[in-house]
Amino acid sequence: MSVVAVNSTVRNHALSAWTVLTVAVKSVMPSENSFWVLYGQHTEPTYLEDAGHGQRPQRDAALKHVKSWRVCLDIGSNIGQWTRPLAKRFQSVICFEPNPNFRDCFKRNITETNVILWPYALSNKAHTATQGFNSTMLRQGDGDVECRTLDSFALTNVDFVKIDVDGFEVPLLEGARDTLTRNTPVINIEMKRDKRMDTVKRAEAILRDLGYRHEKRTKSDEVWLKT
């Protein structure tokens, strides 16, 4: 299946993104919860027959608000536990995961052909950052992680955006204003109010400025809808 509902700029770059996936190690998945993982205690990708449901309650709470099923963005896709079920619902799933070790697991886990994986972090400008071996947190500064803005991809027909970036929500949203304004997608964003209240408040301010309202909270994830 070719990628649909994505503008020509992204199509022109799709080949370079797809090369990330074509080297994937093909694995037979006994169940929908079987995944290659790289949790804190692991020093290399480890296969688990049952890695859990991959935040199904949060996903179900968000997807019930989606009206169209064209393009989905999985930002902070990690090992692909959201990606696999999203690929069954949407025509195209565009993923962003800067950590190469998580991408290694992702390539083993995701064989769906309507998925693109980009090896970038998303921020408010082009710059570099650092990230630990199996860390989900980015740190500003010179490093080998390439950061871009979501707006630089000029994506169209985006109906749903999942955001899980562990403290990098504010720069991501600042660099996504045009995309969110033009597409008005349903947003599912992790908001750790118990750990990063200042970041949550700043992220909320950006979303409200863009015309979004808070709809529902499930565990640490929140659904935001365009008013």
The pair phi, psi for residue 205, each rounded to 5°, is: -60, -40
Residue 17 has what pLDDT?
Answer: 56
Identify the band that residue 20 occupies on the pLDDT scale cut at 50, 70 and 90: very low
Whether the predicted pLDDT of 140 surpasses 90: no
What are the tens digits of pLDDT across the range 174-189? 999 999 999 999 999 9
| pLDDT top residue among 39 and 173 | 173
The residue whose two tokens read 């500064």 is: 141
pLDDT above 70 covers a percentage of the chain that reads: 85
Q: Among residues 128, 164, 137, which one has the least CA distance to residue 54?
A: 164
Residue 9 has what pLDDT?
Answer: 42
Whether the predicted pLDDT of 15 surpasses 70: no
Answer yes or no: are the C-beta atoms of 214 and 62 closer than 8 Å. no
- Give residue 98's identity as a one-letter amino acid code: P
What are the tens digits of pLDDT across the range 123-139? 999 999 887 756 676 77
CA 81 to chain centre: 10
The domains located in the chain, with CATH, are 8-226 (3.40.50.150)
